[in-house]
Structure 1
């Protein structure tokens, strides 16, 4: 009986040690963003984020490293950028700026010579909600899409809300 009690105690200690290691590791992984396995670029977006047109839920993040990948009026679905809030993919990508500002919900758009116009998943202020935002570009071979809204219809950006040419144009 003594041997059986000792084995149970050792198993209990081993399980407790494993859990003591697992939970801090799981918390660290959640905070440090695991992301896709095969990425070409992963850039942490740093605030403060300027409000887009002083209204609604839209904010602007400047990501000069990804400028050449941005959408343009000629190629409105060009950007392969995926936007993450902590470890959650936001979207739909390539959204109209008016939709980002009026509806939020994680919508975003990445424009060449302007940056990423985005909203948070719950329409809170990204400057104060405590979350980390990442711009991610997957390797083409990874088969990852920048369109988490694959089943949704997409409308290209309208001419009514083109991105300003200069960062100073954001009010």
Structure 2
């Protein structure tokens, strides 16, 4: 896969927000798939970078976000996706993983030119992140079974847009780091 990184978007989550009930059905399906991707990426030495919303908690850091999510009512959905000691973590405030974050600099420092985007929400943060990666001349891969959605029809349209308009490779997670 070359210089790839697995980017886990917004999966450290308390699900205490609008549309959470609609999202949770899809998240329950995606969690084991993302956990499998994490396992394979770590086994093959692929860097794992969590990029997570701070939910307006401007004084918090990634450890506090993780603890709050694990201690919440949906901690069982976060536990299988827990960052390990080798994981990198970037906190974001808005939809795109790049918007006013140090991610672009981090990727350059690590020599990463391909991003495997997984997480949530397909038709929001994943889509906007794919566009921002594309305009930065980064290759994008989106495993369709590793992204959660609120609205299935919008998620399908978003995946189609990523593939057609942003040259993203949309595939199944089993196609990545299979060995």
TM over 0.5: no
Length-normalised TM-score, structure 1 = 0.26
| Structure showing greater Rg | 1
Higher share of residues assigned helix: 2
